[in-house]
Structure 1
Amino acid sequence: MWDARATSIAAPMQSVGTGDRVYALDVLGDKIVVGTRDRKIHLLDARNLSVPEQVRDSPLKYQTRNVAFFPTGDAFVVSSIEGRVAIEYVSPSPEEQKKKYAFKCHRSKEDGVECIYPVNALAFHPVNGTFATGGSDAVVNLWDPFNRKRLVQLHRFQTSIVSLSFNYDGSQLAIASSFGFEYEPAPNPMPENTVTVRHISDAESKPK
């Protein structure tokens, strides 16, 4: 952890080892969630990084691609390279753990064969609590985690979605698209790297 206010940053304020490479990270207030190469999920308190609050196995079978907290901080989302997303709850209590679930997404059928794409990007709507996913299928979906349904699918982009971010009130969604070398040979010519800002209406983003 770094102090952005410092005029000269020689060393981090705090550090903690995770035992393997960090593949994904999200911060909400004092809460930190980390996904590592060994498919562990670390839940940390930024006020004291010396001891993780929890370390648990990823609910998904394949490599973690991204993690993101719900705006409320009581739950988080994990995505993987296998076209799946899991909703996890922070509290280890049995009542809270009963609410967790996972689902398939960012998949398509071509000539009768199912194509499965990594889910690279996650972003929560800061007001409505719904969230967006972006995949290597060049598609962005908006989801209602409370009613377990997809709200809308945006138009297909030229290449993989690698990053997503809502603005402060959720009315705009920034969408970064860039080829991620998920397959070979790479396309020729290479798709253009783009950042698109799209208006998101309440009709598209409110739970239903």
Structure 2
Amino acid sequence: MGETPNEFKLKNPPTDGVSAVKFGNTSQFLLASSWDTSVRLYDVVTNNMRIKYHHSAPVLDCCFYDAVHSYSGGLDNTLKVFDFNTNTESSVGQHDDAIRCVEYCPEVNVVVTGSWDSTVKLWDPRTPCAAGSFSQPDKVYTLSVCGDRLVVGTSGRRILVWDLRNMGYVQQRRESSLKYQTRCIRCFPNKQGYVLSSIEGRVAVEYLDPSPEVQKKKYAFKCHRIKEEGVEYIYPVNAIAFHNLHNTFASGGSDGFVNIWDGFNKKRLCQFHKYPTSIASLAFSPDGSVLAIASSYMYEQDEIDDIPEDTIYIRNVSDQETKPKS
């Protein structure tokens, strides 16, 4: 797969599976965390790696706090903050097991981590220190910030909705409408709901308002399935990313495809070309002009002979690809 005019590969990609890609407040800077124990900061405009720092074990997630600080966590159970200006890192705190998710919530000014130790922890970035630990029913697999609410997906197909301003109790407890393990949850930019994907080639569009008339609008659909000679192959949907302006979203699967969906009108807007291997993570820039696509083999079929190299593609996307058809 050669580079297309609207897409290029980042130089100096991670040397093992890419676990997450995240843009900051502009379309210029991208963070990438990896199983090679690194977190990398890229300038995607000039296509160069600005900074790289390491954990003592694979890193599973990362996020920007502001233009000059990143947070990251992974299999070393440690949350780190890195200062790009001074090139220094410090350990903020620990979980009892791997940190799977790291997100920043600007509305409440907290960093949120979700762990395989079945807790979510909040961290105050001003000091940096712990601001509370909250038990979840099971291992945290994915979480997404939705204004001042937090949607958490755990093993056992459980979904919990929390209010970050009052973590004294769970606002809503739900069961996933999909029959198989939850892989990714991302909230709509308009904060009305979230999209959830599973390991079994399905995506569900859910609404937060519990009233029956709103709940009637929720639905699920099949995707990331390929028919070959009459046999349907079903792939995990690993990644979801929302377009902030259009409320449309991209999904990435282990079939190596990226699709763009209009969730409100239940339509697929487009499908990009096939990438070399599984799509591990996706991120739109804040203005929606750029999509970062991490193509990384995720060991769905264990060891294979020729593992494609880990690659991060930067794709300039058009309104034609991402805007709902009126």
TM-score, normalized by the shorter chain, greater than 0.5: yes
- Distance in 2, Cα, partners of 1:4 & 1:139: 36
Match of 1:169 in 2: 287
Q: What is the one-letter code of the residue matched to 1:156?
A: K
Match of 1:50 in 2: 168
Q: What displacement does 1:14 show? A: 1.8
- Distance in 1, Cα, partners of 2:266 & 2:258: 17
- Distance in 2, Cα, partners of 1:198 & 1:137: 19
Q: What displacement does 1:125 show? A: 0.2
- Distance in 1, Cα, partners of 2:168 & 2:200: 32
Match of 1:112 in 2: 230
Pairing 1:72–2:190 present? yes
Pairing 1:201–2:318 present? yes
Q: What displacement does 1:187 show? A: 2.3
Residues 65 and 80 in structure 1, CA contact (< 8 A), matched pair in contact too:
yes
Pairing 1:190–2:315 present? no
- Distance in 2, Cα, partners of 1:123 & 1:88: 15
- Distance in 2, Cα, partners of 1:47 & 1:59: 27
Pairing 1:6–2:127 present? yes
Structure 1 counterpart SS, 2:173 = strand
Structure 2 counterpart SS, 1:2 = strand
Pairing 1:83–2:204 present? no
- Distance in 2, Cα, partners of 1:4 & 1:177: 31
Residues 118 and 136 in structure 1, CA contact (< 8 A), matched pair in contact too:
yes
Q: TM-score, normalised by structure 2?
A: 0.61
Pick the structure with more strand per residue: 2
Match of 2:296 in 1: 178
Structure 2 counterpart SS, 1:16 = strand
- Distance in 1, Cα, partners of 2:229 & 2:186: 34
Match of 1:123 in 2: 241
Q: What displacement does 1:188 show? A: 1.7
Alignment of 1:151-166 (within 5 A): 151-166=269-284
Structure 2 unmatched ranges of 5 or more: 1-121
Alignment of 1:28-39 (within 5 A): 28-39=146-157
- Distance in 2, Cα, partners of 1:68 & 1:14: 23
Of residues 124-133 and 24-33 in structure 1, the stretch that sits farther from structure 2 once superposed is 24-33
Q: What is the one-letter code of the residue matched to 1:137?
A: D
Q: After superposition, give the CA deviation of every residue in 1:91-116 in whole Å (9 maximum; x if it has no partner).
A: 11001001000000000012211100
- Distance in 2, Cα, partners of 1:3 & 1:159: 38
Residues 15 and 50 in structure 1, CA contact (< 8 A), matched pair in contact too:
no
Q: What is the one-letter code of the residue matched to 2:297?
A: F
Structure 1 unmatched ranges of 5 or more: none
- Distance in 2, Cα, partners of 1:28 & 1:114: 35
Match of 1:102 in 2: 220
- Distance in 1, Cα, partners of 2:137 & 2:183: 17
Pairing 1:147–2:265 present? yes
Q: What is the one-letter code of the residue matched to 1:45?
A: D
- Distance in 2, Cα, partners of 1:129 & 1:119: 19
Runs of 4+ off more than 2 Å: none
Residues 123 and 165 in structure 1, CA contact (< 8 A), matched pair in contact too:
yes
